Structure 1
Amino acid sequence: MAKIALRVSNHQAFVWNIQDLEAVRAKHRICGLLIGTLPHLAQQNVFLGVPLTLMPEEAVLLVEKGFAVFIDELKAYYAPTPQELVNWASIRGEEAKRDVERREELKEDAAMSWKLSDAAIQKRKEREAKRAVAKAAAAEGGEDDALFTPTRNIAPPLESNEDSAESPTFAVTIPTESSDLSWYSPDSHTYETISAAKEAGIWSYPSNLHERAKCGVFRDLWEKGYYLGGGMRFGGDYLVYPGDPLRYHSHFVASVLDSPTSSLLPVEIVAHGRLGTGTKKSHLLCGWNDDTREVSYHSIEWSGFG
């Protein structure tokens, strides 16, 4: 099974492929954050599109677990030759021409559908007018004439195909990757480990104790089965969810401490407790032990006295 491609630009990891994006969330419980605009809803900012940007901890976890690889997106492209540019421009021109022809065909089909629909409506009106005339003539003949008028059950006329003319429908397939570019070659710029990516100069995280602590806490909570997201809005490093954030609210706000013996001011403890209670969450203090590579947890909740 092919590994997920994390395309690195300016020390930030992105997921561009739709299948990779699905695997990241459905199989590996990594949410990330969509930052791209949608073509038909460019002005809204509730539901966004590709690319998916990952927190450094998420990217490190995927690579260390062997689920993904880093790709140096800048060096994966090489300068095309003049002939390649000419060929590419020719292909794009032919595609644009086919798109124009297709749009013209759809316009003609739509216009024909409207014409057929108008004709069907006119025929139906003529039939209804003939029935009205026949009914009026029968009423003028009186009841005696009606006794000698042969009757028969007349089934309602079947609607013709013209009456049910609909606008043409069609599907458009949009590729999610620029696989047609012959000057894109990521194979020689792919890195399967964090150390290899650091040596290549495209990745630097984690580079200090605090970053190692964040990676360690993130990994430990992930291995316990939780989903994690950014927790800055709630005064912490992560939001901890029992399931997919699209279905569940977070239960904890996690703050990372570089050591199990790190000091906290009383005002910080009070702030974490009150803020967590106000947002219906518990605040989780996560102490990272860099020697044993283990995490200790303490939760804070505000409670009344007396």
Structure 2
Amino acid sequence: MTDSNSRISISVTNKRAFIWEVDDIAVIRSKYRICGILTGTLPHVSQQNVFLGVPLSLMPEEVVLLVENESAVLVDDPNAYPEPSLEQITEWDSARLESIQKQLNITESLKHASSLNTRSMSEEAIRKRRERKQRKTIPAEETEPSLKMSMSGHPVHSIVIPASSSSTKWYSPGTCTYASIDSAKAAGIWDYPSNLHERAKCGVFRSLWEQGYFMGGGIKFGGDYLVYPGDPMRYHSHFTATVIDSPLSALQPMEIVAHGRLGTATKKAHLICCWDDKKKEVTLMSIEWGGFG
């Protein structure tokens, strides 16, 4: 059994799961083939639409898979911050004021550098104007080529990014960390899966993941998941997967036609994934649109 201290910490807030540590995000992607979705805003790139920053938001199925495989633990994030002592608050406030003063000093130094640079550029412009006047009075054959020097008028700015919450001295997740789904449910911080459909989604997700695929949300393509043969940063998805709660569930002919046509239109095959809750098995059927006549 894996030691819980060596597992990845998944912070749970309002029954939603997040990973805040960049190293952990890299590990679950490279080692466990779990991608999640980055939901944070990066500094200086406030409106990016593809590459976002921490935290990483996980689908419930990804959380269940990681915890059941003993690769992660769930942390009740709101309760992981006990009330700090007066001494800790004073120390934190002093560090905050010191950080503010440091930023003010950096800003003042940048303004001073910018002012000197602007003055230097003005002197350079005056010198060039004087040289142009001299060239007008000197024959062209007597002039020598002058070396033009480019100067940047924009000082280099720096941004100080605060450390993650795990570095806070009064962050104490030890008393609210859960190594299993059942214990997290008993504590009231997690409730997935709670019904047949959610169990079916977890079963289908695990079945496809165990076959070596990367998984992502498939709502934009008319299914529950997108199924990738490799990392989504390198590959397009080959399948769109729809979860059916039972092998005996009714499937309308129009649904089959819709899945087939949509899959073909998006250059994918559509997977119908039937979950057998008694046998804990998944049956897969692939639908592709075929031309007739």
Query: Which of the numbers 193, 196, 199 marks the counterpart of 1:209?
Result: 196
1:105 Cα deviation from its structure 2 partner: 0.6
1:175 Cα deviation from its structure 2 partner: 3.5
1:124 Cα deviation from its structure 2 partner: 4.6
The answer on 1:226 being equivalent to 2:213 is: yes
Secondary structure of 2:84's counterpart equals coil
Secondary structure of 1:305's counterpart equals coil
Question: Is the Cα contact below 8 Å between 1:18 and 1:176 reproduced in 2?
Answer: no
1:133 Cα deviation from its structure 2 partner: 4.7
Alignment partners' CA distance in 2, 1:19 and 1:174: 16
1:149 is matched with which residue? none
1:24 is matched with which residue? 28
1:178 is matched with which residue? 165
Spell out, residue by residue over 1:143-163, the C-alpha distance to the aligned partner (whole angstroms, 9 max, x if none): xxxxxxxxxxx986667xxx4
The answer on 1:304 being equivalent to 2:288 is: no
The answer on 1:235 being equivalent to 2:239 is: no
1:59 is matched with which residue? 63
Alignment partners' CA distance in 1, 2:167 and 2:77: 16
Q: In 2 relative to 1, CA 260–176 (structure 1 residues): closer, same or farther, beyond 3 Å?
A: farther
Secondary structure of 1:75's counterpart equals helix
Secondary structure of 2:17's counterpart equals strand
TM-score between both structures, scaled by the size of structure 1: 0.82
The code of the aligned residue for 1:235 comes to: G
The code of the aligned residue for 2:221 comes to: F
Alignment partners' CA distance in 2, 1:178 and 1:254: 37
Alignment partners' CA distance in 2, 1:192 and 1:61: 12
Q: How much identity, in percent, do the aligned residues show?
A: 52
Gaps of 5+ in 1: 140-153
1:85 Cα deviation from its structure 2 partner: 2.5
2:122 is matched with which residue? 118
1:5 Cα deviation from its structure 2 partner: 1.8
Query: Which of the numbers 173, 178, 203 marks the counterpart of 1:191?
Result: 178
Q: In 2 relative to 1, CA 179–259 (structure 1 residues): closer, same or farther, beyond 3 Å?
A: closer
Alignment partners' CA distance in 2, 1:158 and 1:199: 76
Alignment partners' CA distance in 1, 2:33 and 2:168: 32
2:280 is matched with which residue? 293
Query: Which of the numbers 254, 257, 263 marks the counterpart of 1:267?
Result: 254
Secondary structure of 2:67's counterpart equals helix
Secondary structure of 1:74's counterpart equals helix
Alignment partners' CA distance in 2, 1:256 and 1:132: 82
The code of the aligned residue for 1:286 comes to: C
Query: Which of the numbers 70, 74, 95 marks the counterpart of 2:78?
Result: 74
1:134 Cα deviation from its structure 2 partner: 5.2
Q: In 2 relative to 1, CA 174–110 (structure 1 residues): closer, same or farther, beyond 3 Å?
A: same
Question: Is the Cα contact below 8 Å between 1:117 and 1:164 reproduced in 2?
Answer: no
1:59 Cα deviation from its structure 2 partner: 0.9
Output aligned runs, 1:13-162, within 5 Å. Answer: 13-43=17-47, 45-126=49-130, 129=133, 133=137, 135=139
1:128 Cα deviation from its structure 2 partner: 5.6
Q: In 2 relative to 1, CA 180–52 (structure 1 residues): closer, same or farther, beyond 3 Å?
A: closer
Is the radius of gyration larger for structure 1 or structure 2? 1
Spell out, residue by residue over 1:129-188, the C-alpha distance to the aligned partner (whole angstroms, 9 max, x if none): 55665548x98xxxxxxxxxxxxxx986667xxx45444435444235034532211122
1:84 Cα deviation from its structure 2 partner: 2.9
Secondary structure of 1:284's counterpart equals strand
RMSD of equivalent CA atoms: 2.8
Alignment partners' CA distance in 2, 1:69 and 1:227: 21
| Segment drifting more, 115-124 vs 59-68 | 115-124
Spell out, residue by residue over 1:11-31, the C-alpha distance to the aligned partner (whole angstroms, 9 max, x if none): 111112222222232332222
Alignment partners' CA distance in 2, 1:53 and 1:7: 10
1:126 Cα deviation from its structure 2 partner: 4.2
2:271 is matched with which residue? 284
Gaps of 5+ in 2: none
Alignment partners' CA distance in 2, 1:283 and 1:176: 43
Secondary structure of 2:164's counterpart equals coil
Question: Is the Cα contact below 8 Å between 1:242 and 1:248 reproduced in 2?
Answer: yes
Q: In 2 relative to 1, CA 180–31 (structure 1 residues): closer, same or farther, beyond 3 Å?
A: closer
1:94 Cα deviation from its structure 2 partner: 1.8
Q: In 2 relative to 1, CA 288–116 (structure 1 residues): closer, same or farther, beyond 3 Å?
A: same
